[in-house]
Structure 1
Amino acid sequence: MDVTVTAVSSNGVYSFTKPNRDSITLLAGLGVEGDVHAGVTVKHRSRVAQDPTRPNLRQVHLIHEELFAEVGAAGFTVAPGDLGENITTRGIDLLALPTGTLLHLGDEAVVEVTGLRNPCRQIDAFQDGLLKQVVGRDAAGHIVRRAGIMGVVREGGLVRPGDTVKVELPAEPHRPLERV
């Protein structure tokens, strides 16, 4: 199956959802041009409150479109941008990628995967009960986060729906994703 970008979203103000765009521009070392979470240092409100000087490992948020069908089967309606992601993909298990994977998006942009999104209670404010669909526990009792992955922009460029995604795995041994 081809791996593609199905939607791109950004928002210049803090809000849970992000409107879809015809394209977004990724800026090396910063994130999505004009997005509230772009920057060298942390921009997420809870992280800024803890330490505003920490590096921003959450410049770009990606979600696999297949998640929408999974939560849809449980009665939830979620569309691209609804969960605050910048890039929605199809055809790749983003959650299974190791830390340090490079995602080549379109002709120029490259995002390095830094970790898992740690979803918060705002998801339940969007749709009550949705948080339990994207965060749960496996058979061993370990927390499983399914609300997408985060990354930093290594190479800037324009990203549009329909663009291909090429995956470049890091050297082994691979490190599984942890929350960032």
Structure 2
Amino acid sequence: MPELLTKLSACGVVDLLLATPQRKRGLEKQPVPEVQLRFSGVEGDCHAGLTRKSDSRMSKQYTRGTEVRNSRQLSIVSFEELADVASRMGIPAIKPGWLGANLVVRGIPDLTLLPPSTRLQFGSGAMIVVDAENHPCRYPTEIIARHHPEVTVGFVKAAMHKRGVVGWVEAEGRLRVGDKISVWIPPQRIYSHT
């Protein structure tokens, strides 16, 4: 049987880790030196959990608030893509905490375009499975405007296909800034019956 995943030749690195305590809701997260990944997500983070309430992204499948599997345990963004989005918006930088990111990576080309079921493997044995592209929404625009009052629109357009991905924990382990990341890509096919 052939190998199902192919290791990407480029290797990434953990650039920054962020979390928000569970008792505090909201998009913004703060830098932390390390995180413990559990099967429920980043230990202690407000978006951790084996399940979550369905939201507007799932309105065609479920009534809002239906309990569903949490495939959005982590938000992962790219240092390079964030720099490009900031440049497109005409501001010096976009802090990943403004977007609710848990993990900032460096060195993975076109992170946001990684296909679903891609595995991100870390030295501790931790593994994150990419669920989907994290499409840009209006909420970060409000946070960016607080820090850059001259920019009140434009994030959604600038961040399209550059906003990062969401994923879930397949294997537990600790992540630290500077950890190397191996990227495992699944076989890719186009489904043409839509």
Q: Which residue of 2 aligns with 1:22?
A: 33
Secondary structure of 1:54's aligned partner: strand
**Which whole-Å CA distance do the structure 2 matches of 1:85 and 1:44 have between them?**
20
Number of residue pairs the alignment of both structures matches: 165
**2: CA distance between counterparts of 1:51 and 1:159?**
31
**Structure 1 residues without counterparts, runs of 5 or longer:** 136-144
Instruction: Render the CA deviation track for 1:16-49: whole Å, top value 9, x for unaligned.
Output: 2100000011102x11100111011125765697
Distance 1:85 1:43 in 2: 19
Alignment of 1:32-43 (within 5 A): 32-42=42-52
1:146 to 158, 162, 175: 162
Contact 1:37 1:44 in 2 (8 A): no
2:81 to 53, 67, 79: 67
- For 1:168, give the aligned amino acid: W
Q: 2:66 aligns with which of 42, 52, 66?
A: 52
In 1, Cα distance between equivalents of 2:125 and 2:69: 23
Match for 1:86 among 88, 98, 102? 102
Which range moved further: 38-47 or 56-65? 38-47
Q: 1:117 aligns with which of 102, 120, 134?
A: 134
Larger radius of gyration: 2
Structure 1 runs (4+) deviating above 3 angstroms are 43-49, 173-176
TM-score normalised to the size of structure 2? Answer: 0.77
TM-score, length basis structure 1: 0.82
How has the CA–CA distance of structure 1 residues 4 and 100 changed in structure 2, closer, same or farther, with 3 Å as cutoff? same
Q: Conserved in 2, the CA contact under 8 Å of 1:20 and 1:80?
A: no
Note the aligned Cα RMSD (angstroms): 2.2
What residue ranges of structure 2 are gaps of 5+ in the alignment? 1-9, 145-151
Distance in structure 1 (CA, Å) of the matches to 2:190 and 2:73: 20
Asked if 2 retains the 8 angstrom alpha-carbon contact of 1:10 and 1:20, the reply is yes
